[in-house]
Every structure is written in C-alpha cells, then in structure tokens.
Structure 1
C-alpha cells in the first residue's frame, strides 16, 4: 500500500508537470499559427492508450511514462520526422517562422515550469506559512549521530555559524547545505573554528544510506522511552517520560552529556535526579557494564522539544501579498541549491554521481501517506528542476534548440537541417545514457543496499 501511495503521487505530479510544460510550447505555437500535429502525455511508441484528433492536432496518452511531447510541424525534435524536412517549407511550419517566434515557442515549456514552481511556493506560503526551528535558537549546539558527522569534523555541542560564509536560517536545512557547501564555521567552547567539508563527504553520505536519518540533530534531553525487559532498573522507580536532570549530583541537560558521564560509571550503583511532571525525584539506579541504564531514549519531535522548553520554533504566517516575495525567494533558493548539487555531481572526486537517481529515487521522496502540503512542496521542487534541466544546452532538450536559435539571431546564419538532425541524435543518445545511468543507480541500490 505504501508503494502504491508513493507511486500514485509520483504519477500525478509527473503528469501535471508534463502537461503544463508541453502547454508552454503548445500555446505560443498556436498563437503564431504554427501547426501542432501531436500533444501527448507519455510516449506512444507503436501505440497509444488514448488518442483523439481535434482539428490538426492528435491529443493522446502514451504507454511509456518517460515524459511527453508536442510534435510541431517543420521541426526536428524527438519524433525524428526527417521526411517532412525534405519537403518545401510551408507557412504553418516551425521552420518558416521568424527566429524570435521560434525562440518563444521553445522557451515556453521552461517558462511555465518556473512560473508554476513559484506559484505553488507562493500558495504554500499563503496556506501553510512556515514553521521551523531556527538554527540560531539551537543554543546547545548539535548532536552528532554517527561516524559521518564525526568525519565531517563535528562534535556534540558545536554551534554551526555558517556554511560557505552564509548563515543558515533553518536547522533542518543544514544537511543539504553541507552537501552543497565547501567549508563551514562553528563555535566550539567559545572558540570560532573554520573547517573544510571533506571532498568525499557526499560519497560517504550516499554509502551511509538515506534510511539512517540525519547525521546531526538538535540535542535531546534524556527522556526515558521505555525500560528493556532485562534492565537492572525495572524496580528502581524509573518510569517512562522521566527526564534525567542529574547523575550523582552532576547536572545533565542533554542525552549525549548523560551518555558520556555514564561511560565512566560502568557497573556502578549511582543516584540520578529525574523530572516527572512538576516534581524532581532522586532514584538509586544501576549502570550496566556497557555504560547504560537499560532504557531506550524517547524520540521527540521539535514541537515536543519546544513544549518541554528546550527550543523555540518560528511560526510565520503570510498574507497573500507577503506570500509572493516569500514564495519567489523559496523558488530561488530551490534553484540555487539544485545548481550547486549539479556542480557536485559533475565533479567525480566528490562521488556525488553515485547519488544520481531515476524514477525510483524521485518516487521515493513522496510521503507514504497523503499530505497535500508535502505533495505540492515536492511538485514545486520537481517543476523548478524540470525547468532547469530542460534549459541545459543539450540538443535533444529545449535548451539545445534555444542555443541554435540564439546563434541564428546573433549571426544571421541558420544551422542546416542535417546539422540539426545529427545534433538531435547525439543529444538523444546522451540523454539515454544519463537515463540508464540514473535508473541503473536506483536498481543497484535497491538490490545491494
């Protein structure tokens, strides 16, 4: 059921983005009286699931869910209809239109994607606002979860001041900023320290696996989740939801402090202070030979931590007028972050290419339960991503056609049809290679990790 929910959201989001992207080409083509022969969601190699001809255009749904297309008369595109190009140019064909009109037709799809992404972010800001833990409010610093954080150079209690010289507003943005960044600044025991992000950090992060959770968290109090069946403290009076505040009279604020302190008390009988509701109790307990109390740690959300008084969240609500710049800024940050990640991918030494994913990776980012806020957040991100990817100067993409059209407008020389045909083939094969590599990564991770 979980896979079905994720897949349904992915197909719905992808279908919406494809249809609107192709409408971005379709509408200006019609405005400039250019014939559109086909308008398809998904590809229709050999046959279509649904099709209907209205006027000069066949509208349909293909059976290969790898994208969609509009087939514009007199244009060398993914249909590779070279026979049409051998005939004399007709007034309704793409190749007969002025360069500026062809440029607008080709840019229409990516423009729609960017506008759609901005619009969705504006509506999300207006509808839901922003609720997050500000990085500045994490006064006690970070809690390092595993070796990845240690290899990065972090220690429990470090306050992350900036990454690449830029302060980070939201605590939950820190992992992504570390992925995109090159260096960072921390405060440790009152001293400001600058550190380089290891070149292989992304590679290690990928090998660690996304199911391991974040490598850093805000520091937690030591709240008892449950006592194990073999805990030596079953009859100590220790109870679920007790918060340990002192060990042998030494004040404890966070779990990692208690963990470190208990390491030096292995096998000993000690006294702890716990906060239970509004009372403070002193309890005799036994430390195991592993330096533990035989209890699990209660996992708390940032909202729980706020209620307990450890952190203060920021909750911003926006009028529609206020949501416009907030949404536009969110779209800009999304695009800037995506470009930084692409730069890392094209640098082999980072190992970021190992994390390149295809349809399985994209589908997996959708939640296992329906959430309108999450769905539209992911759809906005994918819309921005799709717009930027299509703008890359690869011949089989919109960006390739844009480059050739701009060249014509600047030089006055139009590339020959044969050149455009060969460029389209080369670009198509490049995209196939990238598609196979990305989806191959997905299959490898699914089988072996």
Structure 2
C-alpha cells in the first residue's frame, strides 16, 4: 500500500508540474501567434485526448514528462520534414528571435512562479515551527554516527557556525554550512570551548542514504505520554506523566539516553527508577522487546517556537525559500564537479523521488515536495543542454547577439546529441535508484 501511495503522489506531482511547464510554452507561443499542434502531459502512446481549435490536448501513457509541439520548431519529435519549405507566418521559425526566446523560457518561468506560489501558501497556512538556539542550547545536541565522526558528543552545545551566530537548529544543517569550503562548529563541552572542522569528504557521506538522519538532532528531556496497552510498559506499571530517571542505574533523563540503553538491553529485563507526577519515586521492572522498546509514546519536554505570518509577510519568506532550492542545486552541482559529492549520491530518479514523498498521504508534505520539484525542474531545464529549454536559450541568445541564426541542420544534430545525453542520464538515474535502494 505504501508503494502505491508513493507512486500516486509522484505521478500527481509530476503531472501538475509538467502540465504547468508545458502550459508556459503553449501560452507564450499562442500569445505571439504561433500555431501549437499538440499539448501532452506524458509521452506517447496517447491514452486520451481531445481537439480544441488548432491544438490537440492529450495524456500519454508514459507519465514521466510531456511536450508541446509548435509548428516550425525542431524539438524532441525531430519532425524536420516541413522545415525545407518556406516558413509560414504562424511558425516558430518565422518569428523574431526575442519572441522565440520568451517561448522557450515560458516553461521555466511558469515553474518558478508555481514553486513560489506553493511555498508562499505553505508559509502562510502553516507558519514556521522550529527549535530556537536558546532552547537547543539548554540541553545541547544528540550526536549520531556522522556527528561523532567529526568529533561531536551528545550534550555538546554549538555556539557558532562557520564563525557566525545562528538562530535555530535547522541553521546547523543549512546549505551555507554544508556547502562551505571548510565548515566549522564552535563547540562548548563542559568548561571547554573549541572549533570542530568537518573532515574532507564528509558531505559525500552526509548525502548517503544509509546515514539519513544520523548526523545531529536536538537533545530533549521527556516524560511518558501514552502508555500502550498490553506492552511491557503497561504491564510494569508505567503511567502517563511519569519521568524515567535511570535504567539499570544508568541515567535516562534524555530520550537518546533511554533509546541507547533499551537498544543495548533488547530481549532483557531492566530495572527503572521512575518519578511519578506527584514527585514520588518508584522502581519498576520491564521486559525490553527485541526492537529495543517497552511500549510508550514519549512527550518531548522542549519548547518549539512557532511563528505565524500574514499573507504579505509570507510572500518574501516563501519566495526566499523557493530560490534557496535553486541556490542549493547550483552549489550542489558545483560540489559534484569538484568531486566533493559523488553523482550516484546526489542524482535521484523516479524511485528515490517517490520515496521522498513518503508512504502516507500528507498534503503539506506533498505540496512541499511539489514546490521543491517545481524549482528543481526550472533549474534543470535551464541547463545549457541541447533538447532542454536551456539549450534552445543558448542558441537563441547567440542569434540575438551575433545576428546569425544557426542552421536547421545544426539544430537538428544538436537536438539528437541532447536527447542522447538526457536518455543516458535517465537510464543512469533509474538504475542508480535501484542500486541505492537495494544497497
């Protein structure tokens, strides 16, 4: 069932984004009097469609893309048969270069607008919840495997990032930190204050799926929330609002301490010292499951800050968030070319994108992922690769600057080369997804 939900969210998100992208080309072409022969969400074979005016609108059976066919344009269809005749006034090739440039930019522009709108409405409707620095540093951080690798320990207090102050926990993993040439944390441990530098190649590990969520997290004390009936916690007498002080005489005041102790005592009996809601103390015995649990939901005792925004306030914040996605992709691409990040770790195909949507239907997460993908799609389409919009933009910019139009034969061959590059990337991404998912 989870697989079906992942697939459904991926297909719906891509259909929306491809639809608005191709609509951007279509509306720009029609605005300049060009004839649009076809508009398709998905690639052939066609499964449904209708004719409206001069344009056939359809859905294709292969849902990982779409296209518009504009008369007189050499595109992915490679339909060059009519290009030998004199251009008609309603053809793409008959229009001035600046108009053709706007048509090719139309899809990118609409994807950017779509991404901004989605992020603005998410900010407006949800606000923003976060752990502020002051709250985080009451208890410090939890250092998982990757955090320990750079020298962090659970309970460390991070004072500065790259020599600068910060506002919230998410700043510790922001792109300014991860993509810096030499990221550093200023750390307080007890009475000592020192700098920790990220080792070379660390970013490559951080993008590895097996280390997902294994870097750092806010450390928090907790109390018992819901006790699940029929579990060791219920049978052992644990109650809501209890606070577990120790297990087998080891401190368990923080949830990470509790998890570590329970995991190391899986399938064993443990003795816990518990402080009740009335401040009395009791000793309870529990049988830990093979998964390292006893059967209760923790209630974190940490104060999140929540900010609400008016629609006017949400516009610049949402716009900034949208363009941060593009900036992160630019920096990430630079890290790939510099060798700091492996292509196999950073390039995601349909399988891993579906996994990012998740196996439960959450509209907030769906729209957040769709907004992110809209900005990524705009960025990827702007890359100067023939067969992408960015390739057409390069050739049209050359024509505007030089006054000379590349020959139709050159454009046809460039389109073929671009399609080979894109198909190779798609095949690589698909099989890389399989390898990364299995291993």
TM-score bracket for the superposition, by shorter chain length: 0.7 to 0.9
For the 8 Å contact 1:159–1:187, the answer to whether it is kept is yes
**1:325 alignment partner, one of 316, 323, 336:** 316
Aligned equivalent of 1:95: 93
Aligned length: 423
Q: What is the distance in 2 between the residues matched to 1:120 and 1:419? A: 39
For the 8 Å contact 1:161–1:167, the answer to whether it is kept is yes
> Is it true that 1:385 corresponds to 2:376 in the alignment?
yes
Aligned equivalent of 2:19: 19
SS of structure 2 residue aligned to 1:375: helix
Aligned equivalent of 2:197: 196
The 1:21/1:296 distance shift into structure 2, 3 A limit, reads same
Q: What is the distance in 2 between the residues matched to 1:331 and 1:247? A: 46
After superposition, residues 158-197 of structure 1 pair within 5 angstroms as 158-164=156-162, 168-172=166-170, 174-175=172-173, 177=175, 179-181=178-180, 182-189=182-189, 190-197=191-198
Aligned equivalent of 1:276: 276
For the 8 Å contact 1:203–1:352, the answer to whether it is kept is no
The 1:258/1:120 distance shift into structure 2, 3 A limit, reads closer
Q: What is the distance in 1 between the residues matched to 2:420 and 2:260? A: 56
Cα deviation per residue 1:340-386 (whole Å; 9 max; x = unaligned)?
22323333343353342200111111132222211111111111111
Q: What is the distance in 1 between the residues matched to 2:368 and 2:164? A: 24
SS of structure 2 residue aligned to 1:16: helix
For the 8 Å contact 2:187–2:194, the answer to whether it is kept is yes
Structure 1 gaps, min length 5: 263-269, 289-293
| Aligned alpha-carbon RMSD (Å) | 3.5
Structure 2 gaps, min length 5: 263-269
Cα deviation per residue 1:192-237 (whole Å; 9 max; x = unaligned)?
4333323332443455526x6443221133757989x9x9x99997
SS of structure 1 residue aligned to 2:76: coil
For the 8 Å contact 1:222–1:258, the answer to whether it is kept is no
Tell me the TM-score normalised to structure 1 length. Answer: 0.83
Aligned equivalent of 1:337: 328
Q: What is the distance in 1 between the residues matched to 2:250 and 2:344? A: 48
Q: 1:83 deviation in Å?
A: 1.5
Q: What is the distance in 2 between the residues matched to 1:381 and 1:9? A: 14
> Is it true that 1:442 corresponds to 2:437 in the alignment?
no
SS of structure 1 residue aligned to 2:357: coil
Q: What is the distance in 2 between the residues matched to 1:378 and 1:51? A: 28
SS of structure 2 residue aligned to 1:110: helix
Q: What is the distance in 2 between the residues matched to 1:432 and 1:261? A: 50
Q: What is the distance in 2 between the residues matched to 1:103 and 1:125? A: 33
After superposition, residues 287-326 of structure 1 pair within 5 angstroms as 296=294, 300=298, 304-305=299-300, 308=301, 311-326=302-317
Q: What is the distance in 2 between the residues matched to 1:6 and 1:271? A: 42
SS of structure 2 residue aligned to 1:58: strand
Q: What is the distance in 1 between the residues matched to 2:30 and 2:381? A: 21
Q: 1:38 deviation in Å?
A: 0.9
Q: What is the distance in 2 between the residues matched to 1:298 and 1:175? A: 30
Aligned equivalent of 1:142: 141
Tell me the TM-score normalised to structure 2 length. Answer: 0.84
Aligned equivalent of 1:243: 243
Q: Which moved more, 1:243-252 or 1:96-105?
A: 243-252
The 1:74/1:236 distance shift into structure 2, 3 A limit, reads closer
Q: What is the distance in 2 between the residues matched to 1:336 and 1:167? A: 21
For the 8 Å contact 1:186–1:193, the answer to whether it is kept is yes
For the 8 Å contact 1:157–1:188, the answer to whether it is kept is no
For the 8 Å contact 1:221–1:254, the answer to whether it is kept is yes
Q: 1:299 deviation in Å?
A: 6.0
For the 8 Å contact 2:146–2:214, the answer to whether it is kept is no
Q: Which moved more, 1:130-139 or 1:25-34?
A: 130-139
